[in-house]
Amino acid sequence: MSLFDDDRPKKKIAHEIGSDLSLLSVDELTVRIDLLKQEITRLEAERQKKDASRSAAENLFR
């Protein structure tokens, strides 16, 4: 092990839709599922904010 192993940037975990899952371990699949659940939550929150803005604008022009 090199002294500089900890200095290397960590590989960011990402998931590509439709990618081959057969080479992933159970732990890696769990991490990806958690990552995707967090992303769904983030997307839903943004959708709610945009929907509220649109509703406010529609009410303003009624």
Residue 1 has a pLDDT of: 54
Q: Which amino acid is at 24?
A: L
Which residues, other chains included, contact 29 with Cβ-Cβ below 8 Å and sequence gap of 6+?
21
Question: Token pair of 5, please?
Answer: 């192993």
Tell me the mean pLDDT in the region 12-41. 92
Q: Which is more confident, 62 or 37? A: 37
Distance CA 27, CA 21 (A): 12
* Residue 28 confidence (pLDDT) above 70: yes
Residue 56 has a pLDDT of: 85
pTM of the model: 0.67
